Amino acid sequence: MTRNTPPGLVAGLAERAVYSAHAYRAADPPGFYNRHDEDPGEWHRWARRARVARTIAATLQVPIDCVLVTDDPHPHRAHRTRSGPVPGDLITVTDPPTGRAWRFIPDLTTPGDGWLLLDRCPGCAAEVPVTRIACLVDLGEYLDPDGDLHVADEARDQALHQPGCTLALPTIGT
């Protein structure tokens, strides 16, 4: 039996564990298969991802098996290190009742835990970080049609938009 959505808390530990293994194996095969390699860096990355998953699951009040943390494939969001660029985290939270997937990246400007919600730009349909999320209330405010929308500065980064998008701001010096 293949599941597309997490089994939920009514399922037993074994079913939830197997579901999680299948989800990570499908989403990030190298990360999954190399997590126990002799390179301690792989284990540290795996453990850090587990901590990120626990933190955002608690913040958004979803079961931990609804959260998947993988390498962010977007090169614009990689971390620069002395040994070269390192992919950032791409966090996918699947809502158990609806099956909708929400995507987040870490907000590196926030002290403590915070994320940037990724959503489609209304001007060009590119996936951009639209708003800061530190708690469930922030996501609710973004989704509420009557709420005050606070667009993240990162949402205006021209490099993330399609050419000619009117919502992107030109980079200084270009």
> What gap in Å lies between CA 154 and CA 26, rounded to an integer?
30
Coil vs helix vs strand at 39? coil
DSSP of 163-174, one letter per residue?
TT-TTSBPPTT-
Coil vs helix vs strand at 58? helix
N-to-C CA span, the chain: 53
Q: What is the dihedral of CA 108, 109, 111, 112, to 10 degrees?
A: -30
pLDDT in tens, 136-172: 999 999 999 887 777 788 887 877 888 888 777 765 5
What six digits make up the tokens of 126? Answer: 């590119």
Angle between helices 40-60 and 136-143 (to 10 degrees): 60
pLDDT in tens, the chain (174 residues): 445 555 555 568 888 888 888 988 998 888 888 888 777 777 888 888 899 999 999 999 999 989 999 988 876 776 666 766 677 889 999 998 899 999 999 998 888 789 999 998 888 888 888 899 999 999 999 999 887 777 788 887 877 888 888 777 765 554
| DSSP 8-state secondary structure symbol assigned to residue 162 | P
What pLDDT is attached to residue 6? 56
| Other CB atoms within 10 Å distance of the CB of residue 59 | 18
What pLDDT is attached to residue 46? 86
| Other CB atoms within 10 Å distance of the CB of residue 83 | 6
What six digits make up the tokens of 91? Answer: 């966090």
pLDDT in tens, 66-76: 999 998 887 67
pTM beyond cutoff 0.85: no
What pLDDT is attached to residue 1? 45
Q: How many residues does the chain have?
A: 174
